[in-house]
Amino acid sequence: EIELSDRVQRIQPSPTLAVSALAAQLRAEGRDIVGLGAGEPDFDTPEHIKQAAVDALARGETKYTPVDGTVSLKAAIIRKFDRDNGLTFTPDQILVSSGGKQSIFNLCQALLNPGDEVVIPAPYWVSYPDIALLAGARPVVVSAEQEAGFRITGAQLEAAITPNTRLVFLNSPSNPTGAAYSAEQLTELAEVLRRHPRVVIATDDMYEHILFGSKPFVNIVNVAPDLLDRTVVLNGVSKAYAMTGWRIGYAGGPKNLIAAMKKIQSQSTSNPTSIAQAGAEAALDGDQDCVVAMCSAFAERARRVVDGLNAINGIECLMPDGTFYCFPRVTGLMQAADIDTDVALTKQLLDEVGVALVPGSAFGAPGHVRVSFATSVDQLDKALERLRQFVANHS
Ligand code: PLP
């Protein structure tokens, strides 16, 4: 056995993998599995985006680009921030990376020292704590319950901040809950953060465009522009344009922090893929109708799934504000079936009725499951029918 670094031993393999691996194994054995575990849109990347990458390939754009992204993609990102978010950035405030996840990784590597604390509201996106741990920092989880709409309050944030706090993650709309913060709620958090000038804010806007209802998207710097000089705005094309495999994410933020993130990237992956950058540019500059169409499909499915889940005994589900996830509490179901943990419940659901879900404990919220509705209405109806069957089996 080779002796491994302390660093790698600090982190856990994703608990979601256990369910995905079991689902794959059951499928290989010929079982009919309905997968509601996907973290990506089920739609294909829109044609004009694919064509832009094909054109770039034909033009021979197959070489290194600047580490921080092509001049023209960065210009498209600057236009996007201005158009959608009312934010003004210069090119030296923008870094393009190989997916939103790399932007977050670069940020943590560039900002955090051992002993630093990172405030992470739960339910959280699975990777925040592990990326913080890899940087030697300590995740400080602040839990928001279903009763609170899965949103933390200013008082909770204040209580979590210590002299060691360097970074706070905000993710709205959220993976896994679909909950979005209102302008008022963000203002409350901003008031707390204003009192702690050493704390950097990471606003992960990855699901900005998958927002239901009539209220426009807002992030913390929209309600508190004075915090912009210590906020990193994280976004990417993965979810909005169904481009998860292309691996393009980007960050806008303070010059010296972006330069430091670029330095980390220059010694790890260098530039993101040249032709994927051309595709991302077409996505950001092109017709946005595709985004609207995907969003309304997700909104329609959200209603269908949440209504279906709430009609099942032992499941209580909030209507998400956006994303393609909802995050029902399933403690009633666990009790009825005499199952102790959400991990055991997801295993049994897979085994007994062939429905794959991700356990809430993967997101720091035991007693829940994440349901992805990035799949067809037929599959969703089938999953609901099977969940009803499971309840019938155990009552
Ligand atoms: N942030 C959130 C909240 C996400 O859900 C994801 C993907 O699941 C990412 C960032 C990273 O996206 P990417 O696939 O671009 O790395």
Which pLDDT band, with edges at 50, 70 and 90, does 116 fall under? very high
The single-letter DSSP state of residue 147 is G
Q: How far is the CA of 175 from the centre of ligand 1 (A)?
A: 8
The predicted-structure confidence for 83-98, as pLDDT tens digits, reads as follows 999 999 999 999 999 9
Residues ≥6 apart with Cβ < 8 Å to 233: 81, 85, 87, 203, 205, 219, 221, 251, 252, 253
For the Cβ of 46 lying below 6 angstroms from any atom of ligand 1, the answer is no
Which pLDDT band, with edges at 50, 70 and 90, does 13 fall under? confident
For the Cβ of 204 lying below 6 angstroms from any atom of ligand 1, the answer is yes
pLDDT at 39: 84
Query: Is a pLDDT exceeding 80 seen at residue 24?
Result: yes
Instruction: For residue 248, give the ligand 1 atom closest to its CA.
Output: 15
The predicted-structure confidence for 197-231, as pLDDT tens digits, reads as follows 999 999 999 999 999 998 999 999 999 999 999 99
Strands 369-372 and 325-326 turn out to be antiparallel
The predicted-structure confidence for 330-360, as pLDDT tens digits, reads as follows 999 999 999 999 999 999 999 999 999 999 9
pLDDT at 21: 80
> What's the whole-number mean pLDDT along residues 21-40?
90
Q: Give the Å distances, CA to CA, from 71 to 53, 94, 210.
A: 16, 10, 27
> What's the whole-number mean pLDDT along residues 285-292?
96
The predicted-structure confidence for 231-269, as pLDDT tens digits, reads as follows 999 999 999 999 999 999 999 999 999 999 999 999 999
Q: What angle do CA 49, 55, 58 make, to 5 degrees?
A: 150
Q: How far is the CA of 150 from the centre of ligand 1 (A)?
A: 19
Query: Is a pLDDT exceeding 80 seen at residue 15?
Result: no
The predicted-structure confidence for 327-337, as pLDDT tens digits, reads as follows 999 999 999 99
CA distance 201 to 113: 16
pLDDT at 16: 66
Write the ipTM.
Answer: 0.99
The predicted-structure confidence for 133-162, as pLDDT tens digits, reads as follows 999 999 999 999 999 999 999 999 999 999
Helix and strand numbers (H, E) in the chain are: 15, 12
The answer to whether residues 69 and 91 touch, using CB atoms and an 8 Å cutoff, is no
Domains (range + CATH), the chain: 6-44+290-393 (3.90.1150.10), 60-285 (3.40.640.10)
Query: Is a pLDDT exceeding 90 seen at residue 19?
Result: no
For the Cβ of 171 lying below 6 angstroms from any atom of ligand 1, the answer is yes
The answer to whether residues 314 and 330 touch, using CB atoms and an 8 Å cutoff, is yes
Query: Is a pLDDT exceeding 80 seen at residue 14?
Result: no
Query: Is a pLDDT exceeding 70 seen at residue 365?
Result: yes
The answer to whether residues 248 and 272 touch, using CB atoms and an 8 Å cutoff, is yes
Which pLDDT band, with edges at 50, 70 and 90, does 22 fall under? confident
Burial class of residue 352 in the structure, from the number of CB atoms within 10 Å of its CB (0-12 exposed, 13-18 middle, 19+ buried): middle
Nearest CA, atom 1, ligand 1:
206
Average pLDDT, whole number, for the chain? Answer: 96
pLDDT at 23: 84
